[in-house]
Amino acid sequence: MSKNVLQPLDVNRTSMDRSPVRKRARYDSPVKEGWSLTSHNLKLDEVFDFGVGVLNSDSETQTDDEECPRDASSYDDCLEPTAEPDEPAADSISLDDWDGFLIKKPVISNTSIDQFCRLSDEVILHIFHFLPKRQLTQIACVSKRFHRLTEDESLWARMDVSNRVLYPGALGQILSRQVVILRLAQSEISHPAIMPDCRASNEDFQSRLLYLDLSLVHVSPESLTSLFTKCQRLKKLSLEHVQINTEVLQALAQNKELEVLNLAMVQGIEVDGLKVLLKNCKKLRELNLAWTFLSCPSIKLLCAQLPKTLDRLNISGCRKLLTDNYVLDLVKSCPGLRELDLSDCTGLTGTAIHHIILLEDLNFLALSRCYLIPYRSLLTLKKVKSLVYLDVHGGYIDYTELRIIQDGLGSHIHINKFKFSSVARPTVGARRSSIWNMRVRD
């Protein structure tokens, strides 16, 4: 047989053996030595094994009824005479007309479907909850639908904007998203906090803010006044080490549901503002007024008008202005106190202890650096059955006297266990991802 005749295909040959036939160039390209496209008969079964179909040369289209059957005898009209009569094959066709064959290629769909758009709004919102707040503003630019979903109030219920510099009007933008828990500790809020064109500036707008931490914030009293005018549902607030005035306290007094208030080291508390605050906020449970340098009239007003619902109180740092008589007024106003911090009130004497023992539910008492209270007067606290913790830091009581106090009060009393007060403070210790045990980051 001639070299240029294509040998019959062996069914046992591997796919690598078939590659010269699968990757055959067009009929007008040079042919390898030992292969020929002419004068050769190829069996139909072998053709189909190549993944090659036969086209009808008479017409370009065929119906299902006109398709050539697999039987070789039905292809008589399609076949040409064989080049070698001495090797007839009833089920063979010629490769002379190469245009009669089509190599089957995979069908690739050109239509692309965005599967993400098929998700419901609830599913997409759940996905958005895992993203940082700063990325939500970028996602809002993707499409109108994403912009609408990023405005959902559930995504902005908790926000941590601490240690930031807020440009003018930024606080109004935050309030307009209806935040519930907001931490702004150690941030700088530029004035004005709310711009006139902001949604929060509308007269009928009321914020949903319930828990707000403004500790160590650099902000003007005017901005605080405009803020509290829009926030009248606050339950817990911290203004530690912030400059305020009477107008701020009057605006803050509109929050009649206020339960926890931290005003430690706040400057600017006057009698008029304090009077309005104590008159309206009748549900206070925790109040911290440590080191606020209250005047004598303010201390007198405070001790006489504290709400009966008060549970924890810190008025340390009053120096000589807080006397034993004021302590008696305080005990009468808040008979249910469980925690009382009178540290650095150097005007108190042993008489104050006799007033304090009237608090039957007292659990914690701090009398650090109260130098005029004799250590033996502290033994009277044994009458308070609920007392568990007693702090007398400051070194004015030596080790021997501490042993006498411990033996006199009993082993169940823990002395000097806490160095700092936690009354009304939003964060205690190293935890900075929550305020009042509520997360500010999703």
How does pLDDT run across 12-21, given as a tens digit for each residue? 444 444 444 4
Minimum mean pLDDT range among 43-57, 227-241, 420-434: 43-57
* Category of 433 on φ-ψ map: left (φ > 0), alpha (ψ -120 to 50) or beta: alpha
- pLDDT at residue 103 greater than cutoff 50: yes
Architecture of the domain made up of 291-298+305-422:
Alpha-Beta Horseshoe (3.80)
Q: How far is CA 230 from CA 176, 193, 198, 207, 352, in A?
A: 10, 12, 12, 6, 42
pLDDT at 15: 45
**Bridge partners of residue 312, in order along the sequence:** 286, 339
Q: Higher pLDDT residue, 112 or 438?
A: 438
Give mean pLDDT, residues 236-263.
Answer: 96
Q: φ and ψ at 213, to 5 degrees?
A: -115, 110
- pLDDT at residue 401 greater than cutoff 80: yes
Residues of the chain with CATH 3.80.10.10: 291-298+305-422
Q: Higher pLDDT residue, 165 or 78?
A: 165
Q: How far is CA 54 from CA 40, 62, 76, 83, 101, in A?
A: 16, 12, 13, 20, 5
Give mean pLDDT, residues 92-113.
Answer: 55
Question: What residue has token string 């500010």?
Answer: 440
* pLDDT tens-digit map of 203-246: 888 899 999 999 999 999 999 999 999 999 999 999 999 999 99
- pLDDT at residue 76 greater than cutoff 90: no
Q: How many CB atoms lie within 10 A of CB 234?
A: 22
Core vs surface per residue 357-366: b (16+ CB within 10 A) or e: bebeebbbbb
CA 400 – CA 262 distance, rounded (Å): 36
